Amino acid sequence: MAMMGMPFDDVLMNRVRGSLRECMGKKKKEIVYPVLGSGQGLIDTHCHLDMEAYSEDLDGVIERATRNGVGRIITVGIDLVSSREAIMLAEKYPGIRATVGVHPHNVGTMTDEDYIQLRQLAGHHEVVAFGEIGMDLHYDFAPVELQREHFSRQVALAKELQLPVVIHDREAHSEVMNVLVDHSPYPAGGVMHCFSGGPALAEEVLALGFHISIPGVITFKKSEEMAEVVRLVPLERIILETDGPYLAPEPRRGRRNEPALLLFTAQRVANLKDVTLDSIAEITTANAERLFYAVAPIPVGSVS
């Protein structure tokens, strides 16, 4: 018998895998998406569709998003390779647009040549913003001086190119604000993506004319400070994002995030603002259109 030769650990692991699969399969079926009315749907303003996590089933991910009303997605570059891939995805799928930029994690090896490349990529007609750029003091993958230098230099380039900026700020609030204030004003606008500060930072970001992007974290139990921010920020300045494959909202917390799950984030924001899901969709979509799609208009409709 084949089983007899199998080490006990493997038998056990197979059982664990089997029950995990069963459990995940069950949960997958149970998920019920909030339902949107007949409006223009939601825009996932920040997702990383080029990442490995989507390589097996990207068509399915996009189809599921479209079916649930998330017909438009902005896929965000984090280095030169992913910026190129973002553009390729935008060329392939009608509902997808791209951003280009180098994330603070990846600035350690940036060269002058990279800036020439970025400038070229940013001129592509599918590109709607510059980013994500910023600072990250949670992980110090690149020295803080280099993060500051390349953040500042990329902000300057984005402004020269008249593109909105997509800002990443993790545990670097005052550093990020210093650079942003230095370079203000921002005629093409900007967004603090995956906003993680409190009301005071929100006020500073709003004063720059920026939007505040709310991630799936708002659906987590311990998100009181973010809930306070959502209540405080005018609806006209809020946009929504998944930041997929990271930060999946409840009821999928801890698993892979994807654009269709934006519905749960939108529903939670609707509850906090005490308005309907449809009005949240209408307003945040109009906001994202003003911010991003004035650069590269996109027809309303399905992704696939």
Residues that bind Zn ion (CB under 5 A): 132, 168, 243
Q: Which residue has the tokens 């209408």?
A: 282
- Tell me how far, at minimum, the Cβ of 271 lies from Zn ion, in Å: 25
Torsion of CA 36, 41, 46, 48, to 10 degrees: 80
- Tell me how far, at minimum, the Cβ of 252 lies from Zn ion, in Å: 18
- Tell me how far, at minimum, the Cβ of 137 lies from Zn ion, in Å: 13
- Tell me how far, at minimum, the Cβ of 300 lies from Zn ion, in Å: 25
Distance separating alpha carbons of residues 165 and 57, to the nearest angstrom: 29
**CB-based burial label for 61 (10 Å; 0-12, 13-18, 19+):** buried
- Tell me how far, at minimum, the Cβ of 48 lies from Zn ion, in Å: 6
Q: How would you list the strands of the sheet with 211-214, edge to edge? A: 43-47, 72-75, 96-100, 127-136, 165-170, 190-192, 211-214, 238-240
Pick the closer one to Zn ion by CB: 79 or 132.
132
Pick the closer one to Zn ion by CB: 79 or 282.
79
* Minimal CB distance residue for Zn ion: 168
Distance separating alpha carbons of residues 11 and 259, to the nearest angstrom: 36
3-class secondary structure, 4: helix
Pick the closer one to Zn ion by CB: 104 or 189.
104
Pick the closer one to Zn ion by CB: 132 or 282.
132
Pick the closer one to Zn ion by CB: 243 or 258.
243
Residue 164 φ then ψ, to 5° = -65, 150
